[in-house]
Amino acid sequence: MRVLLACCLWLSVFAPPAHAAQVERIEPANWWVGMRHDRVELLVHGKGIAAATPRLSHAGVAIVDVQKTDNPNYLFVTLEIAGDAKPGGFEIAFAEAGKVVATHPWRLDAREPGSAQRHGFDAGDAIYLVTPDRFADGDPSNDSVPGMREAANRANPNGRHGGDLAGIRRHLDYIAGMGFTQLWPTPFLENDQPGYSYHGYAITDLYRTDPRMGSNQDVRALARAAKAKGIGLIMDVVLNHIGSQHWWMRDPPARDWINHGGRFAPTNHRRTAIQDPHAAPADRQAFVEGWFVDAMPDLNQRNPHLARYLIQNTLWWIEYAGLSGIREDTFGYADTQFLSDWAKAVLDEYPDFAMVGEEWSINPAVVAHWQRGKANPDGHVPHMPSMMDFPLNLSLRTALAQADGWNGGVEGGWMPLYEMLANDFLYPDPGRLVVFAENHDSSRLLADLDGDLGLWKVGMAYIATIRGTPQFYYGSEVLLRGPKQRDDGLLRADMPGGWAGDRADAFTGAGLDARQRDAQDYIRALYQWRKRTPLLHAGKLMHFAPADDVYVYFRYDERRSVMVALNKHAQARTLALDRFDRFLRGRSARDALTGKPVALGESLRLPGKSATLLEIE
């Protein structure tokens, strides 16, 4: 009887009450001592958790704010972390009526030395873009994972093929050997969607690597292994939307967490509405708040808790994984003020960090609106250091694919590219833009040019030698082509040699045909030369109006220069050199890729469909 009474007394004092609050997750699960961002708002999720009061006991850490939303299953708990706080783990307790009903572990870590001073990518770098699912399968055991909605099916162009972080890590020597110094994988976070999940842009957990790609620890290991080989890791961040199977969609943290109340309403894609002084407010709203597709719910970054969550998530991944840069997806589609706040928060923490935003517009004025230092008439203050140079990308493809117009008109030949580059006066810092011939969302340049290898080399030479940071898409060095009309599953084809039993192997060269070997050798020589040539990183740029299918420009400083002469005509051209006396008179030259001397007389012969690259001394 006494034992039974004692048990009842213990239960009355320590047992949680009926229907007590629960804790299912806390995000982020840790932070670091010494961060400038030292007030961390924790998202706490669990049934009925809003009825509980959080408590903790750890030297240097204090709870300074607790907020609720209209959903009783969430608390937002702000911790203040003192500069002298000690790293270590501790419990956060949650109490009701004075009784602890739930606990959850949390942790403070020490930062890596020099973390805040990390240097991001710049014009001295060259970026290699990969779609991880299609690059290499380093661990076949995780191709399909029990409990996840989509299994591997390599026969399906739009399915998962099994590429992973282990596959990328296995081929870091190849990437470095090709001359690339930065690695940009498309998103590798969890995409537990029922189909079409391989691309990574429908994220279902912002703090978890997709198990079919690897683990969070594998991301950090990849970054460290890449750094040891002179390669930085760029993370593809998505702030605008999530996947429809994200756990938030089963229990949204607040009614206004997802735009349009969680119901699909498509975006109008009217990106000019942001800057347009005449735009109807409804058009701006439809652009920012509309969804891409019903599988990608659009986030409402005007909710302050969501805004802090997304900012902290970005800071967490930079610190955790040791990133050297961020590529931000669908940049202009998110709330305008939030984008400014987000980028500023990142640069406040990491002043020399690198970020590039995707604004898919052919209008340089639209792209320039988002770059740091731009004085915008509407008062928007941007903090993004770099943007993807879509205007130059589209102009290059147009110029290569069409014949010269009459009288050198803008409607033909090199003139669209020449005149687009002239718009650099719109950008605060055009040298920070990321330039590219193709990416994971476009047809490949080779397809656009109907397989013309000569013109393809011309385009690739342009990207490697013009101002800005070049980005190259995996597999093009071995002439992956895909269809001319965009078909994502086919243009994001498997890298030859990334899977056991492949007939050809891009990494070893086995099974490649003569054209593939030629293309690969060309890209390797081009980017290794770029890597060791500072003029292509920081040299000034002067271009000359195109004539007779030839476009000439120079990268130069006070003593030396690099001459680039692009001939897009099928026939050889004789280029008179008197026009370039400023750079050539009394100088010697050598072929940049072979090192062979080149005579500089009155003229220079340019082979048909070729890029002539000369070092002038």
With a cut of 70, say whether residue 11 has pLDDT above it. Answer: no
With a cut of 90, say whether residue 606 has pLDDT above it. Answer: yes
Mean pLDDT of the region 55-60: 97
Residues across the chain: 617
Q: What is the pLDDT of residues 493-535, one digit of tens each?
A: 999 999 999 999 999 999 999 999 999 999 999 999 999 999 9
Are 79 and 92 a contacting pair, CB within 8 Å? no
Angle between helices 304-321 and 216-228 (to 10 degrees): 50
State yes or no: is 289 an active-site residue: no
Mean pLDDT of the region 387-400: 98
Report the chain's terminal Cα–Cα distance, integer Å: 101
Tokens of 3: 């034992």
Among left, alpha and beta (phi > 0; psi -120 to 50; other), residue 38 is alpha
Tell me the CB-side half-sphere exposure of residue 483, using CA atoms within 13 A. 7
How far from the centroid of its chain's Cα atoms is residue 528's Cα? Answer: 23
DSSP state of 492: T
Q: Is 222 helix (H, G, I), strand (E, B) or coil?
A: helix
Query: Tell me, what's the pLDDT at 20?
Result: 86
Delineate the domains of the chain, giving CATH numbers in brackets.
14-110 (2.60.40.10), 127-242+297-536 (3.20.20.80), 540-616 (2.60.40.1180)
With a cut of 60, say whether residue 3 has pLDDT above it. Answer: no
Q: How far apart are CA 38 and CA 568, in angstroms?
A: 56
Q: How confident is the model at residue 228 (pLDDT cuts 50, 70, 90)?
A: very high
Q: What is the pLDDT of residues 95-149, one digit of tens each?
A: 999 999 999 999 999 999 999 999 999 999 999 999 999 999 999 999 999 999 9
Strands 325-329 and 354-357: parallel
Q: What are phi and psi of 163, to 5 degrees?
A: -60, 150
CB contact set of 41 (below 8 Å; sequence gap of 6+): 65, 76, 77, 78, 79, 305, 308, 309, 312
Q: Considering the entire predicted model, what is its pTM?
A: 0.95
Q: Is 245 helix (H, G, I), strand (E, B) or coil?
A: coil
Q: How far apart are CA 83 and CA 33, in angstroms?
A: 6
DSSP state of 323: -
Element (H, E) at 391: helix 390-401
With a cut of 80, say whether residue 12 has pLDDT above it. Answer: no
Q: How confident is the model at residue 412 (pLDDT cuts 50, 70, 90)?
A: low
State yes or no: is 329 an active-site residue: yes
Peptide bond into 496 cis (omega under 30): no
Number of helices (H) and strands (E) in the chain: give both, helices first.
Answer: 17, 26
Q: Following CA atoms 177, 178, 179, 185 in sequence, which dihedral angle do they give, to the nearest 10 degrees? A: -100
Q: How far apart are CA 502 and CA 246, in angstroms?
A: 35
Catalytic residue among 358, 359, 404, 438: 358
Nearest residue to 322 (alpha-carbon basis) of 97, 64, 117, 560: 117
Q: What are phi and psi of 10, to 5 degrees?
A: -60, -45
Query: Tell me, what's the pLDDT at 402?
Result: 85
Mean pLDDT of the region 206-234: 98
Query: Tell me, what's the pLDDT at 193?
Result: 98
Mean pLDDT of the region 253-260: 98
Q: How confident is the model at residue 406 (pLDDT cuts 50, 70, 90)?
A: very low
Q: How far apart are CA 295 and CA 149, in angstroms?
A: 14
Query: Tell me, what's the pLDDT at 17?
Result: 56
With a cut of 90, say whether residue 13 has pLDDT above it. Answer: no
Q: What is the pLDDT of residues 68-80, one digit of tens each?
A: 999 999 999 999 9
Query: Tell me, what's the pLDDT at 478?
Result: 98
Q: How far apart are CA 184 and CA 128, in angstroms?
A: 6
Tokens of 73: 């299953």
The β-bridge partners of 387 are 357
Q: What is the pLDDT of residues 452-489, one digit of tens each?
A: 999 999 999 999 999 999 999 999 999 999 999 999 99
Extract long-range pairs of 400-408: CB within 8 Å, 24+ residues apart: 400/445, 400/448, 400/449, 400/455, 400/458, 400/459, 400/568, 401/448, 401/449, 404/548, 404/549, 408/545, 408/546, 408/547
Buried b or exposed e, range 251-290, using 16+ CB within 10 angstroms: ebbbeebbbeeeebeebbebbbbbbeeeeeeebbebbbbb
Query: Tell me, what's the pLDDT at 411?
Result: 47
> Mean pLDDT across the chain, nearest whole number?
95
DSSP state of 532: T
Strands (DSSP E) contained in 460-524 are 469-473
Strands 74-81 and 88-96: unpaired
Q: What are phi and psi of 266, to 5 degrees?
A: -70, 145
With a cut of 70, say whether residue 169 has pLDDT above it. Answer: yes
Catalytic residue among 125, 137, 190, 329: 329
Mean pLDDT of the region 210-214: 98
Q: How confident is the model at residue 403 (pLDDT cuts 50, 70, 90)?
A: confident
Tokens of 100: 């602890």
Mean pLDDT of the region 443-452: 97
Are 492 and 440 a contacting pair, CB within 8 Å? yes
Q: How confident is the model at residue 6 (pLDDT cuts 50, 70, 90)?
A: very low
> What is the percent of the chain with per-residue pLDDT over 90, rounded to a whole number?
94
Q: What is the pLDDT of residues 269-304, one digit of tens each?
A: 999 999 999 999 999 999 999 999 999 999 999 999
Query: Tell me, what's the pLDDT at 405?
Result: 54
With a cut of 90, say whether residue 180 has pLDDT above it. Answer: yes
Tokens of 92: 């956060």
